[in-house]
């Protein structure tokens, strides 16, 4: 009771009442970010993309590079999370460090990035579930399954924070045990390439020079390493958030990096032929995801189906957590009158302690995004860039002043500014690379979104939105 009172009083310093149920422990806070990162979603879904761009070397070198630099981003964000333990996360960080307008744009980039990520995650889930059910991958079947998946995730988010936390806890077990089983099966049962195969720099797409294709292939890892800010979005529902939420951010990236690397190395060593894997099709002539093809060719059809079932389960957990995270950002912005229909979007169910309208809006927007684009590469590249720009803005703004660091219980000490500079530099590189061909549509979409947001801010938001009430008053 004393801890709950302290956390409530701490939130009160930011001018907010405790409306959401504070029922998450440290492990559950870590689990939600780990579930959104979901190595069995990102790494499996885009395994073929990474293999096509950079070959085996992409898997053996690209993943650890992305892990190392993403850890720098995560550590920098963890410091900010400790200083600002509110549901708005990057929105509140940017608003306090740079002003209301910076916070508003950051919030919307985060929201749209999570909407696009949710669309890609659940559409991929539908693609993996339908063959398992013996149903053809027709556009109608895919869209219907996508809608059903979103409905189940939305209802759970609407009616129980605690149940969502339990499911995310279970997701950690599914991911780690699933990967260990997969790795064990490959190492003990499948024919394997020599270790030297991991160093082969193969560009099956024909792009040159190879180094550029390798950089483009980092999309596989960077799309996987998104969403770890979820731990920050759940601070108002986490006990002792100034300590536990930062660890949730950092550990979710670190554990995903290690476990994901084991999986990628195992899959890559089991490749019988790169051309066979990239060109694999099912009996109906539909392309088979490359990771599934590896297991089908090396261990048989049953192994491929088992991975499909495991991956679809992980994707469902990933989508569940993405709705949770995105709805908290939308709720936080609406609470400060920064959205259209803000009085409705800020409503919290008195019985369940969940922001129901924000939860449903996330699901409806994801369904609309997938109906509009109809292509996973578009939503994955856009979501990655939008989210990393949302990460980048508050990181750059930290360079303007240092007084926020005294609030950070979890901190990097004298290495703080150096780690922030590394994080900023790498994020800029990632955002640049991921809007280059063949992902230029992501860049054009981002520019169009920024123009739309600028117009919306000028016409409507600037008149009624003044930023978080506490902004600028605590320093």
Q: What is the pLDDT of residues 308-346, one digit of tens each?
A: 788 888 889 889 988 988 898 898 889 888 888 889 999
SS3 state of residue 158: helix
Mean pLDDT of 401-421: 90
Beta carbons within 8 Å of 1's beta carbon, 6+ residues apart: none
Q: What is the pLDDT of residue 4?
A: 52
Instruction: Check residues 210 and 377 and name the one with the higher pLDDT.
Output: 210
Residue 5 inside a domain? The answer is no
pLDDT at residue 21 in the model: 44
* Sign for the pseudo-dihedral over CA of 121, 389, 87, 221: positive
Please give the pLDDT value at position 24: 61
Contact predicate 266/183, CB 8 Å: yes
Q: Which domain holds residue 32?
A: 24-464
2 assigned to some structural domain: no
Confidence of residue 259 (pLDDT cuts 50, 70, 90): very high
* Contact status, residue 67 vs residue 253, Cβ threshold 8 Å: yes
pLDDT tens readout for residues 185-219:
888 888 889 999 999 988 887 766 899 999 989 98
Task: Give a yes or no: residue 214 inside a domain.
Answer: yes
Go through 134-163 and write b for each residue having 16 or more CB atoms within 10 A of its CB, e for each that does not: eeeeeeebbbebbeebbeebbebbbebbee
For residue 64, the tally of other CB atoms under 10 A from its CB is 16
pLDDT digits (tens, 9 = 90+) for 22-60: 456 778 888 888 888 988 888 888 899 899 999 999 999
pLDDT of residue 14: 54
d(CA 52, CA 46): 10
pLDDT for the residue numbered 183: 87
- pLDDT tens digits, residue range 66-86? 999 999 999 999 999 998 888
The predicted pLDDT at position 9 comes to 56
Task: Indicate the SS3 state at residue 287.
Answer: strand
In a domain, 8, yes or no: no
Sign of CA dihedral 234, 239, 243, 247: negative
Q: Is residue 269 part of a domain?
A: yes
- What number is the average pLDDT over the span 398-423? 90
101: buried, middle or exposed (CB in 10 Å: 19+, 13-18, 0-12)? middle
Q: What is the pLDDT of residues 145-168, one digit of tens each?
A: 999 999 999 999 988 777 887 887
235 domain residue, yes or no: yes
**pLDDT at residue number 1:** 43
Report the DSSP beta bridge partners of residue 287.
Answer: 281
pLDDT at 398 over 60: yes
Q: What's the confidence (pLDDT) of residue 307? A: 74
Domain count, the chain: 1
Cα-based distances in Å from 45 to 75, 125, 126, 151, 323: 26, 9, 12, 22, 19
The pLDDT assigned to 258 comes to: 94
Query: Which residues have C-beta within 8 Å of that of residue 449, sequence separation ≥ 6?
Result: 109, 112, 386
- Would you give the DSSP letter of residue 409? S
Phi-psi region of 209 (alpha: psi -120 to 50; beta: other; left: phi over 0): beta
CATH number of domain containing 57 = 1.20.1740.10
- Cα gap 26→28, rounded to integer Å: 6
Specify whether the CB–CB gap between 3 and 240 falls below 8 A: yes
Report the predicted TM-score, pTM, of the whole model to 2 decimal places.
Answer: 0.86
Using CB atoms within 10 A of its CB, is residue 18 exposed (0-12), middle (13-18) or buried (19+)?
A: middle
Residue 68 lies in a domain: yes
For range 102-124, the mean pLDDT: 92
Residue 24 phi, psi dihedral angles, 5° rounding: -95, 135
Q: Which of 170-179, 213-222, 389-398 has the lowest mean pLDDT?
A: 170-179
Could you please report the per-residue DSSP string of 205-251? Answer: T--SSHHHHHHHHTHHHHHHT--TTHHHHTGGGBSSHHHHHHHHHHH
Picking from 173, 155, 175, the residue whose alpha carbon sits closest to that of residue 163 is 155
- In terms of Cβ atoms closer than 10 Å to its own Cβ (0-12, 13-18, 19+), residue 381 is buried
CA of 346: how far to CAs of 20, 331, 394, 460, 472, in Å?
A: 11, 5, 24, 18, 23
Distance from the first to the final alpha carbon of the chain:
29
How confident is the model at residue 464, as a pLDDT? Answer: 81
Residues in the chain: 475
Token output for 168? 């995310």
> Distance between CA 102 and CA 94 in Å, rounded?
6
How far, in Å, are 5, 42, 299, 301, 325 from residue 306 at the CA level?
47, 17, 11, 9, 29
Instruction: Tell me, letter by letter, the H, E, C secondary structure of 12-49.
Output: HCCCCCCCCCCCECHHHHHHHHHHHHCHHHHHHHCHHH
Band (269; pLDDT cuts 50, 70, 90): very high
Q: What is the pLDDT of residue 85?
A: 85
Confidence at residue 199, expressed as pLDDT on a 0 to 100 scale? 93
Q: What is the pLDDT of residue 8?
A: 57
Domain assignment present for residue 10? The answer is: no
Distance, CA of 40 to chain centre: 13
pLDDT class for 402, splitting at 50, 70, 90? Answer: confident
| d(C-alpha 227, C-alpha 393), whole Å | 16
For residue 19, the model assigns a pLDDT of 47
> 10 or 453: which carries more pLDDT confidence?
453
pLDDT over 70 for what percent of the chain?
91
When mean pLDDT is compared across 9-18, 359-368, 415-424, the lowest value belongs to 9-18
């Amino acid at each position: 009771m004393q801890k709950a009172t302290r956390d409530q009083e701490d939130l009160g310093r930011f001018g907010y009442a405790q409306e959401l149920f504070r029922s998450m422990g440290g492990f559950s806070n870590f689990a939600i970010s780990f579930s959104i990162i979901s190595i069995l979603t990102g790494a499996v879904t885009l395994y073929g993309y990474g293999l096509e761009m950079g070959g085996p070397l992409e898997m053996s070198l690209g993943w650890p590079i992305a892990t190392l630099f993403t850890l720098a981003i995560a550590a920098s964000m963890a410091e900010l999370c400790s200083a600002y333990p509110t549901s708005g996360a990057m929105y509140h960080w940017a608003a306090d460090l740079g002003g209301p307008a910076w916070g508003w744009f950051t919030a919307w980039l985060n929201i749209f990035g999570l909407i696009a990520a949710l669309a890609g995650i659940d559409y991929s889930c539908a693609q993996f579930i339908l063959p398992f059910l013996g149903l053809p991958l027709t556009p109608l079947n895919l869209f219907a399954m996508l809608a059903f998946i979103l409905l189940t995730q939305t209802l759970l988010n609407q009616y129980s924070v605690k149940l969502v936390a339990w499911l995310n806890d279970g997701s950690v077990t599914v991911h780690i045990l699933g990967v260990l089983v997969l790795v064990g099966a490959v190492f003990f049962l499948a024919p394997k390439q020599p270790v030297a195969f991991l160093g082969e720099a193969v560009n099956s797409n024909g792009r040159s020079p190879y180094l550029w294709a390798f950089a483009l292939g980092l999309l596989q890892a960077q799309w996987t390493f998104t969403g770890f800010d979820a731990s920050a979005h759940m601070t108002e529902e986490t006990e002792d958030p100034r300590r536990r939420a930062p660890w949730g951010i950092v550990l979710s990236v670190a554990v995903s990096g290690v476990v994901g690397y084991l999986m990628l190395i195992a899959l890559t060593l089991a490749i019988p032929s790169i051309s066979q894997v990239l060109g694999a099709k099912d009996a109906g002539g539909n392309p088979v995801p490359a990771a599934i093809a590896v297991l089908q060719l090396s261990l048989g059809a049953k192994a491929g189906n088992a991975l499909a079932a495991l991956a679809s389960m992980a994707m469902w957990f990933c989508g569940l957590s993405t709705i949770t995270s995105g709805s908290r950002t939308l709720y936080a912005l609406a609470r400060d009158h920064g959205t259209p229909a803000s009085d409705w979007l800020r409503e919290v169910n008195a019985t369940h302690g969940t922001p129901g309208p924000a939860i449903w809006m996330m699901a409806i927007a994801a369904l609309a995004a997938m109906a509009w684009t109809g292509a996973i590469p578009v939503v994955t590249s856009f979501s990655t860039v939008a989210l990393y720009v949302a990460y980048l803005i508050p990181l750059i703004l930290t360079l303007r002043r240092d007084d926020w660091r005294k609030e950070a219980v979890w901190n990097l000490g004298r290495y703080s500014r150096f780690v922030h500079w590394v994080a900023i530099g790498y994020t800029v590189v990632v955002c640049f690379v991921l809007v280059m061909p063949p992902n230029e549509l992501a860049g054009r979409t981002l520019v169009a979104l920024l123009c739309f947001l600028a117009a919306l801010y000028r016409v409507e938001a600037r008149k009624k939105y003044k930023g978080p009430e506490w902004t600028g008053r605590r320093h």
